[in-house]
Copies of this chain bind each other. A is one copy, B any other.
């Protein structure tokens, strides 16, 4: 069934049917009603393929993320998809994994599908050396990076200030007179920024050297690594800042197992303010990474660019500290 069938049954031309479907143009009320009735009766749905061919747009946006099962990215994908749909776009999803080559391939694939724009979610898309594939993509369609930084026309960035967030978290613990350790599992772009934040806070305090613990991307690895270091701390008051909630939880377990009191002797701050924070005891203090706002801003930027509007090229949000049971927070220092 196609537009011709409708036209025939309604006794009009295909152009009129097309006009009715596209809502806008000048069509008499009588005709419109007649056409709509026929469309309804026959349960007609216009072919997106044909429409796309004619207009060159499929009303579809490519959404890329390294791993849609990651807590943060999953939330992001969920928000983004919903917002895009409200704007009349669909999300074509690609979970690329972490290998550069696959990310490249995925971008190419989506461009081949002629998506109207590209949304790269997560700092995993910010490569250390070579981001040509992204810049290249931006020459074909608008591109928005969430938690990445790249400067180019037709490209917007929305990100959290990871450096600042970790800087503040570290500072908070240092001010309590603690020896502060930093626990992380990878040096993606934001991973590097976070580390910088920690380092900066340590340097500014100027009291003791940085102590960075690196572990695998598992709770248990964080636990093992932390145990070793905590044991070496003796009776010192310690603070642990982690680049992800689940790492902090690993450290928390280590601390409890080693008999330290939390939050007095050992105090911990995670990152992302995820569901996990409520699953441990005491509950984990964390930095909210503002997924929803990031996504909202990102979608807004994309829409701006698609509409040819000028838009902010770089938007930076601040993380929000959320105090729970693993830290000793004075009321007055709460935001």
Binding site for B on A (CB under 8 A): 45-50, 52-53, 56, 58, 60, 63, 67-71, 74-75, 77-79, 81-82, 85, 90-95, 97, 108-114, 219-220, 246, 249, 253, 256, 275-276, 278-281
Q: Within the oligomer, what is the number of copies of this chain?
A: 2
B68–A95 CB distance below 8 A: no
Chain B residues, Cβ within 8 Å of A94: 81, 85, 90-91
Q: For residue A91, which residue of chain B has the nearest CB?
A: B93
Minimum Cβ distance to chain B for residue A1 (Å): 12
B74–A69 CB distance below 8 A: yes
Interface residues of A: mostly helix, strand, loop or mixed? helix
B49–A219 CB distance below 8 A: no
Q: How far is the CA of A49 from the CA of B82 in the complex (A)?
A: 24
A58–B69 CB distance below 8 A: no
Chain B residues, Cβ within 8 Å of A77: 68-69, 74, 77, 93, 95
Chain B residues, Cβ within 8 Å of A95: 77-78, 81-82
Chain B residues, Cβ within 8 Å of A275: 71, 219, 246, 276
Of the residues B52, B67, B79, B85, contact of A78 by C-beta under 8 Å? B67
Of the residues B45, B68, B90, B97, contact of A111 by C-beta under 8 Å? B45
The 5 A-B residue pairs whose C-beta atoms are closest, nearest first, are A74-B74, A68-B78, A69-B78, A279-B279, A49-B52
Of the residues B48, B93, B108, B113, contact of A112 by C-beta under 8 Å? B48
B279–A246 CB distance below 8 A: yes
